[in-house]
Structure 1
């Protein structure tokens, strides 16, 4: 059974993950070091990521790797799942090469008792463009991966206010801003218009550490973040957060971060 009780500021306490497939080095990426992806190291880093989540009390459920889909390790993009009402919005990828990844996630969630709602064409919606809060409010990036139809599908599914955020400088909204509880966001203001988050305390990430804006809030003032970004880590500690750092260098080469590697079962 998945833990269902919610502790202070917790957005989720269970998540799905999927290890990298053999084709992972062929990921869709604009990163200059994409051709240096080390699959063995990526597998090790993924194991360490899962261990970090489990050590923080997250119930991690692991799907098998998915051959034929190089980007399938980035399971966050496949769906938005709500544990309390056992409903899941299944993505329709804006990146055509990734269409099909969602099928096994839909099946797995069904086995956990979730009812699936599909995003229908021509709408597109990817999980990396969805920012959930515990305030009855969500945000969705309008990007090359998520369109207005996808935003409307999200509004219908959540039944709450969803703010659309035009996002052009990164391909997913969560590459530039993430909610970390306590009515606060971690944000790179050079990459996304901060006016959309005017009701939040904004913790600015230096542009040279922009990758560190992609953080995963674990509740109880705990943040999982990529290793190697000392200025951002220090700013978060000054805000009262406990930092858990993980090495995700190989996933960065594939334009992925710590949020991308897990699909939370949200307690909203």
Structure 2
């Protein structure tokens, strides 16, 4: 995670961003701190990457890399305003003992568009990550990749429209939650085939960034407004954990956007 010390909305690179609306950096930092502390209370370790002046979106660490079995595929951003973030995160990986670090040739916004299910890497495209980056991820990370096309610009990254509730194990398949209307018809059919027991989100769930959630297989950290989705998850045995991300959402981000999962 990367603290939003320099958080601001100075440009618009997604439909949620409006530079004309005021942003409270102190409130954003308080919300981020509560998210970080929530992970720690749930027993998780959180590494912090120092923020850099002039990179207000660096708080959205999910876009900085994809890490599976200790291999790191870095990021290459579509928007020039975020391009410099990639090198700061690459240095952090190298300085913290990651030796297998590859920087992509293709536009690749990392866990913004990549979701690991334990056996497959679901890969989004349509607005940010190039389709060619999916093949590059498969070659670099050595895992099978399934491409999914996003069609609603409000849900410009895969992590705004889908998250993994439980990774696959020998005893059970993976389970995901997703908003069907964010995907192309063919991609919906793929998801239906791969995940017949998926939790299907409503328009209201998606609009409050309820699918920009983080699950450890039991606890699901999600925005406080996502009460409908939380109720359905609780009925399945998951433990919803609410956080307020209202200030961070002004830049099109939520719990998952702020969180890169390090699978060592």
SS at match of 1:62: coil
What are the ranges of 5 or more consecutive residues in structure 1 without an aligned counterpart? 1-16
Q: Answer yes or no: is 1:68 the counterpart of 2:59.
A: no
Higher RCO (Cα < 8 Å, 6 or more apart) = 1
Give the structure-2-normalised TM-score: 0.88
What are the ranges of 5 or more consecutive residues in structure 2 without an aligned counterpart? 167-172
Determine the structure 1 residue equivalent to 2:215.
Answer: 217
Structure (1/2) with the larger strand percentage: 1
Query: In 2, are the aligned partners of 1:227 and 1:247 still within 8 Å (CA)?
Result: yes
Residue 166 of structure 1 and its aligned partner are, at CA, apart by 1.2
SS at match of 1:57: coil
Report the Cα distance in structure 2 between the residues aligned to 1:218 and 1:23, rounded to whole angstroms.
Answer: 27
Give the structure-1-normalised TM-score: 0.86
SS at match of 1:141: strand
How many residues matched?
245
What is the root-mean-square deviation in Å for CA atoms of aligned residues?
A: 1.6
Which range moves more in the overlay, 235-244 or 21-30?
21-30
Determine the structure 1 residue equivalent to 2:226.
Answer: 229
SS at match of 1:26: coil
Query: In 2, are the aligned partners of 1:188 and 1:204 still within 8 Å (CA)?
Result: yes
Q: Answer yes or no: is 1:266 the counterpart of 2:263.
A: yes
Determine the structure 2 residue equivalent to 1:190.
Answer: 181
Q: 92, 95, 105: which is aligned to 1:111? A: 95
Report the Cα distance in structure 2 between the residues aligned to 1:253 and 1:23, rounded to whole angstroms.
Answer: 11
Seen in structure 2, the aligned counterparts of structure 1 residues 260 and 103 have a Cα distance that, compared at 3 Å, is: same
Report the Cα distance in structure 2 between the residues aligned to 1:105 and 1:88, rounded to whole angstroms.
Answer: 11
* 1:13-60 superposed Cα distances (whole Å, 9 cap, x missing partner): xxxx11113252325442276613211100100110100011111111
Q: 84, 103, 116: which is aligned to 1:100? A: 84
Report the Cα distance in structure 1 between the residues aligned to 2:165 and 2:240, rounded to whole angstroms.
Answer: 12
Query: In 1, are the aligned partners of 2:104 and 2:136 still within 8 Å (CA)?
Result: yes
Query: In 2, are the aligned partners of 1:27 and 1:71 still within 8 Å (CA)?
Result: no
Which range moves more in the overlay, 92-101 or 26-35?
26-35
Structural mapping, 1:1-268, within 5 Å: 17-26=1-10, 28=12, 29-31=14-16, 35-82=21-68, 84=69, 86-115=70-99, 116-120=101-105, 123-127=106-110, 128-134=112-118, 136-169=119-152, 170-181=155-166, 183-192=174-183, 193-197=187-191, 198-200=193-195, 201-210=197-206, 211-219=209-217, 221-267=218-264
* 1:223-266 superposed Cα distances (whole Å, 9 cap, x missing partner): 11111221111000011101111100111111111111011111
